[in-house]
Amino acid sequence: MERGISTSMWQKNSLYAILLISVAAGGYGILSTAWQSGCCEFLAQTTISHGEKQVQKMLVDRPNMAKYTALNGEIKAITPQDAIWQWAAKNYNTTIYESRINWDKGELIDKPSHYIAENTSPQHGQSGSIRIRPAIMNADGKLEVLSFEMLWNACIFELINIRNAEKSLAIYSQALTGEINRAQFVRQYQLAEYQSLVKLKQFYQDVWLPWATAHKFASNPELWEQSLPASYEEWIRIRYGQNNAYKYFEDYYDRVIVPHLKHSSVGQEPQKAK
């Protein structure tokens, strides 16, 4: 058999060339329109993995994730050879409840302004998704475009956290049947969140820092929870009340679980844990 580049490899490299040209140009403009109208269909016809397709789409929709500035001031593009690309592609390939995880370019218009990203858990027959805001409102009330590292940090955390889907469903089901009360419901969700932060911290040490060192990128360790307390109890003592995001679980219980309990055979919320 004649040796040479395979059709699938040619397709992948040609497709990625579009992204590289666009990044080098400093923007997406017409290429962005061409990508979204034609290249997404082309993506579906190639043999690259589902995860790789999601990463490619994500980098187009969030251009700041596609390029970074090295210590010498050189602007470089992320490629499929980068460890962070490969990790993201592998985790977008994860199957939960026999369903895929997709990139969703939609805005988080239904979430508070301090939310940078969120995941929607896969369900049987329904894909999960990752959404990331391109910008947030800063303390001065001005729109702040998120940096390369902040966007990747949000992506990695959500790809880690979405793996809690089965655990989250179990907690939710126990609350609906009255097996656990409000305090237990909140604690179990917060504990799952803490465990995801532990994994994010480890990701930095295993993947991000070696990549940043090799590519001469000045990383911010605090974005990656490098000062994360060693125990959940210490973490919640320090963090609870400082970040309104964790009040979400209490509000959700009051808004969704309590009405269900009142109208179900359970009749009332179980006695609060002491």
Does any domain span residue 115? yes
Q: What domain count does the chain have?
A: 1
pLDDT the model gives residue 182: 92
CA distance to 30, 130, 185, 255, per residue, from 260 (Å)? 50, 28, 15, 9
% of the chain surpassing 90 pLDDT: 53
% of the chain surpassing 70 pLDDT: 77
Q: How far apart are CA 158 and CA 165, in angstroms?
A: 11
Reported as a single tens digit per residue, the pLDDT across 224-243 is: 999 999 999 999 888 765 55
Which residues have C-beta within 8 Å of that of residue 231, sequence separation ≥ 6? none
Domain limits for position 172: 49-262
Does any domain span residue 212? yes
User: Which among 141, 155, 143, 137 is positioned nearest to 62, based on CA atoms?
Assistant: 155
Burial code of 169-202, b = ≥16 C-beta within 10 A, e = fewer? eebbeebeebebbbebbbbbbbbebbbbbbebbe
Q: How far apart are CA 45 and CA 234, in angstroms?
A: 50
Contact 175, 188 (CB under 8 A): no
Number of H helices and number of E strands within the chain? 12, 7
Does any domain span residue 41? no
Does any domain span residue 55? yes
Reported as a single tens digit per residue, the pLDDT across 40-57 is: 554 444 568 999 999 999
Between β-strands 101-103 and 75-77, what pairing exists: parallel, antiparallel or unpaired? Answer: unpaired
Phi and psi (nearest 5°) for 170?
-65, -45
CA distance to 5, 6, 47, 167, per residue, from 2 (Å)? 10, 10, 21, 51
Does any domain span residue 31? no
Residue 9 predicted with pLDDT over 70: no
Does any domain span residue 39? no
Q: pTM for this structure?
A: 0.77
For residues 175-184, average pLDDT: 92
SS3 letters for 89-114? HHHHCCCECCECEEECCCCCCCCCCC
pLDDT the model gives residue 14: 45
Does any domain span residue 20? no
Q: How far apart are CA 204 and CA 224, in angstroms?
A: 6
Q: Which amino acid is at 76?
A: K
Residue 161 predicted with pLDDT over 90: yes
Does any domain span residue 224? yes
